[in-house]
Chains A and B, each alone.
Chain A
Amino acid sequence: MSETRKTDAVRLHRELDEIWHTPRGLQRLAAVNHTILGRRFIIAAFVFFSIGGILSMLIRAQLATPNTAFVGPEVYNQIFTMHGTVMMFLFAIPMFEGFAIYLLPKLLGARDLAFPRLTALGFYCYIFGGSILIVAMLAGVAPDSGWFMYTPLSSSTYTPGINADVWLLGITFVEISAISAAVEITVTILKMRAPGMSLDRMPIFAWYLLVTAGMMLIGFPPLILGSILLELERAFDLPFFDPTRGGDSLLWQHLFWLFGHPEVYIIFLPAAGAVSTIIPVFARRELMGYRAVIVAIVAVAFLSFGLWVHHMFTVGIPHLALAFFSAASALVAIPTAVQIFAWLATLAHGRPRFDVPMLYIFGFLFVFVLGGLTGVMLAMVPFNWQVHDSYFVVAHLHYVLVGGFVFPMLAAAYYWLPHVTGRLTMHKISVPAFWLIFVGFNMTFFMMHLTGLRGMPRRVHTYPSGVGWDWLNLLSSIGGFILTMGFALILVDIILQFRFGKPYRRNPWGARTLEWAQPNPPPSYNFASLPLVDRRADTLDPHAIGNELAAGNGYLGFARNGWQETLGVDMTTGRPDQTIVLPNRTFLPLYTAIAIGLFVLCLLFKFYWLSLVPLAVTLLLCLAWTNVTGLRHDHGELDIGNGISVPPHYEADGPPSWWGMVFLLACNGTLYASLIFAVFFLWLVAPGWPPTELIETGLILPLMTVIAVVGAALLSRMAVAANAGGGGALPLILCAAGAHVVTVGLLLFLINTALPEPTSHAYAATAFVTLAYTAIHSALGIVFALYGAWRIMNGFVSARRSLDLRIGKLWHDYTALTGVAGIALILVMPLIVAIQGGGQ
């Protein structure tokens, strides 16, 4: 680099860092920067992993020998429940989120994620929710019904304390983080890539993350609904899962596994994305079958939603239905195999070189393929019946999850850690650490296949001597401690790398993706200017690109107005279509998470009326987020460099926040569809139907409700149209708010007068929830409409700046759609219940 260019680069660095950096001290709590938050997610997930690991050591200590009195059954129940819960909800998902949050903008050539404040909110919700669970464990009231919390064991009859509430509320709190990450990842990948990065040029990791985030939007809502329903049952006696009052405990299993099985692939796919990124680097050739791999991950994503009943093969479902799920369970092995063969072919056609990340890739391939094969065995119904709830299943799930997530994530950690630290790994410890983990893992879990086949059930706190399980369990326990030593060595290795690793400037592995075009550790703004991508984004030359970008020769190679600017692009072609101005650091996400946390704690300790206070504070804080968004005047197009100008995002057609609302509503719609499923499932399958008392609404009130809620949506649409025409939106949007007020009033009247007592029967309880769902959405519709009116009155809305109204329109449309469906369901249910009750 010439001296002048170097000076320019340094000046540009200073200007941009002044805008993007986060000061030390208390200001760190206000951080919204994705690099900081990604690192925090990863560190927090590793802490929770350590807690889960200690719990697993307690389990292995207890089971090392027969008839052990180390811990009693009550404590043991809490230990294994918390081990599973921590590993699945507080380690695996957040670890993947952390990787995605840290890496994604760097891979895509952006300066941050689409919603930086949402990232921060997600982080604090994760930490607070996880802390509730850990504190409960330390207080001796941890969940103790197993990580999948089956009813009726987790119902108040059999778990009367707050143990199950801790799980239901704590995990739902944590899932705010998962949903926000999913929205964030989806929008960022679709809208915030580097100019020129069309879909066919995206790095393969981005495809994996896109598909995974889409799966999260569809996969998590059934569990959120299930948790809400179970908490309503426990707190207010609404009998969704109580078979004596028209409920069914199998409904919980369906809702849980509708989430639970896709969850396995939600964990696996990002790890596979890391593998697909790392192998080409060390094979020194492009990934073979790029397009076939994309099709394979789409196929895995869909098929994974058709497998959930293979966790329920023994509950008495018709054999034909079992055949559907058995076939789909076996089928999912094919697209998984497509990926494995693509990796093998890449290695076979390349010039592989061996390094520490490749050791863990080898471990991944060995362990995961074994887990996949036992998965196909478990997909076969007769075999599944034989080993159901035995240690064979424990062995299988650890081979799949540790093989499919932990080994690739360790490969990823060794591969990307130099990016975080700016230092190279001290390889002396990492190799023995790998072998300890590999040997320890296989010794621990391979034995469990055998104990399972010899009939040892899961979740027993001890077992008798002399039934052929003794030496296998002892070997498992010894293996478990070897495994732990391996992880301890990795921790030491990472600390050593931070302290003594050899500094380097850029791209130590000879990688060809954009994140290595940055100096390491990365600057606060990621790229001094944004790159033009003119080929596949995993075939680039980071050295050459890095120098050009640092000199400001890409897009947005300047600082303007103190704005945190990055680019928005067309979804498919990657053509720039907007300048996205991101919000600066703020304490609002922290305050909002604290308010939500207080709400959760109020519910946990059953201060239901008091919980309305933090709920109201949460709403006010969410409104306060909008203080810094938008402008009071039209701005027009902004120069982004290289002779191109694009509008700011609040004047563009499809800004990130609009798409964010679209994906959030898709997620919400899945929750609603799960509720509809629950209604029909109980009608068809649950005992105790038909109910003795049916809803008597007549037609007038429901029709008035439909008119009001649809009217609100139409008025909102008219407001948007009027605004586009140059004015007159204010009275229309105020009328929309009024229509929502009428809707809420009518729904409350219906709930109070037409519904049977919701605690009397699951029919009444589901009807109550269906109407309450629309009432809550309509109440929020009032907020959206009044907010739109406030923005109009304060000059934030014009024909060109209509984003506030258009986002509101999405909400009003959704409320109308689900409201009409809900009212129709309420009207139809008495008719179909009269035809036939279920469960007979």
Chain B
Amino acid sequence: MIVSERVPASRLMWLLAGFIVWSAAFVALYSMLSIGCAFGWDQAFLGPISVQRAVLVGLLVISLIAGWWVVRIAAERRRAAGGAGLVLRPFIETAAWMAAWAALASTLFSLGPVLFLTACH
């Protein structure tokens, strides 16, 4: 039996969405770290924290928010895909939801060191 559901190919991209956010966050933080160190942002301060750390922590927060947004969307789609008789759509949406959570956790774990390590040494 051929699946009768309509599932656009773009849905496949949602399987990747969480980790695309992770990749963008990784590139953004690594780039800004390099730029900040080259420009001496770690020596300029905004109150108690350096400009460098403010920028990096800000980027981490934005990344986590973006990752959380992907998780939320994926969760909503997963709920919506639970209709009777549907098979393919729940499969893709659940996989996308699992990948989104994995990516969010990866973002926090791999980029979390901006919260406590010195930046340019």
Contact = CB atoms under 8 A, between A and B. Distances in A.
A298 interface: yes
Interface string A282-304: 00000000011011001101110
A319 interface: yes
B87 to A, nearest CB: 6
B43 interface: no
A321 B3 contact: no
A836 B103 contact: no
A324 B1 contact: no
Interface SS of chain A: helix
B111 A684 contact: no
Contacts of B92: 199-200, 572
A836 B19 CA distance: 33
A570 B10 CA distance: 12
A29 B39 CA distance: 59
Nearest to A654: B9
A752 B91 CA distance: 56
B113 A327 contact: yes
A534 B16 CA distance: 26
Contact of A327 (B3, B15, B109): B109
Nearest to A196: B2
Nearest to A302: B19
Contacts, number: 125
Contacts of A570: 9
A699 to B, nearest CB: 26
B3 A575 contact: yes
A196 B110 contact: no
Contacts of B62: none
Nearest to B99: A295
A46 B39 CA distance: 52
Contact of B12 (A291, A320, A571, A685): A571
B111 A324 contact: yes
Contacts of A320: 33, 56, 113-114, 117-120
A331 B113 contact: no
B37 interface: yes
A87 B87 CA distance: 43
Contacts of B37: 318
B47 interface: no
B102 interface: yes
Contacts of A319: 117-118, 121
Nearest to A570: B9
Contacts of A838: 38
Nearest to A210: B12
A604 to B, nearest CB: 35
B44 interface: no
Interface string B27-57: 0011101110111000000000000000010
A341 B2 CA distance: 32
Given A323-B113, A684-B34, A838-B38, A199 B88 contact: yes
A397 to B, nearest CB: 22
Interface in A783-840: 836, 838, 840
B95 interface: yes
Contacts of A303: 19, 106
B50 to A, nearest CB: 12
B110 A306 contact: yes
Nearest to B119: A320
Contacts of B35: 684
Interface in B1-30: 1-3, 5-9, 11-12, 15-16, 19-20, 22-23, 26, 29-30
A291 B98 contact: yes
A298 B19 contact: yes
Contact of A324 (B20, B29, B118): B29
A305 interface: yes
A574 interface: yes
Contacts of A199: 12, 88, 91-92
Nearest to B35: A684
A735 interface: no
A324 B110 CA distance: 5
A295 B30 contact: no
A750 interface: no
Nearest to B90: A200
A299 B103 CA distance: 7
Given A327-B113, A572-B8, A573-B88, A532 B23 contact: no
- Chain A CB count within 10 A is highest, among B35, B92, B102, for B102
Given A320-B118, A571-B9, A572-B12, A299 B99 contact: yes
Nearest to B2: A196
A107 B90 CA distance: 24
Interface residues of A, number: 42
A328 interface: yes
A198 B119 contact: no
Contacts of A532: 1-2
A836 B39 CA distance: 8
Contacts of A260: none
A303 B99 CA distance: 12
A573 B102 contact: no
B114 A575 contact: no
A575 B2 contact: yes
A452 interface: no
A440 interface: no
A335 interface: yes
Nearest to B39: A836
Contacts of B94: 291
B30 A324 contact: yes
Contacts of A306: 22-23, 26, 110
A655 interface: no
A404 to B, nearest CB: 21
Interface in A684-698: 684-685
Interface in A564-599: 570-576
A170 interface: no
A298 B15 contact: yes
A295 B87 CA distance: 17
A327 B34 CA distance: 18
Interface string B54-81: 0010000000000000000000000000
Contacts of A534: 1-2
Contact of B2 (A294, A571, A573): A573
B117 A573 contact: no
B38 A685 contact: yes
A196 B119 contact: no
Interface string A697-716: 00000000000000000000
A480 interface: no
Contacts of A571: 9, 12
- Chain B CB count within 10 A is highest, among A302, A574, A680, for A302
B52 to A, nearest CB: 9
B109 A572 contact: no
A385 B98 CA distance: 35
A684 B109 contact: no
A372 interface: no
Contacts of B31: 680
Interface string A676-688: 0000100011000
Nearest to B9: A571
Contacts of A318: 33, 37, 119-121
A292 B102 CA distance: 11
Contact of A291 (B23, B95, B112): B95
Interface in A146-163: none
Contacts of B99: 295, 298-299
Q: Give the top 4 A-B pairs by smallest Cβ distance, nearest first.
A: A323-B113, A302-B19, A200-B91, A327-B110
Given A190-B9, A302-B22, A684-B38, 18 more contacts: A200-B92, A292-B98, A295-B98, A295-B99, A298-B15, A298-B16, A306-B22, A318-B37, A320-B113, A320-B118, A324-B30, A324-B111, A328-B110, A572-B11, A573-B2, A573-B5, A680-B31, A685-B34
19 contacts: A198-B3, A200-B91, A301-B19, A302-B22, A305-B23, A306-B22, A306-B110, A318-B119, A319-B118, A320-B113, A320-B114, A324-B29, A331-B109, A570-B9, A571-B9, A572-B7, A684-B35, A836-B38, A836-B39
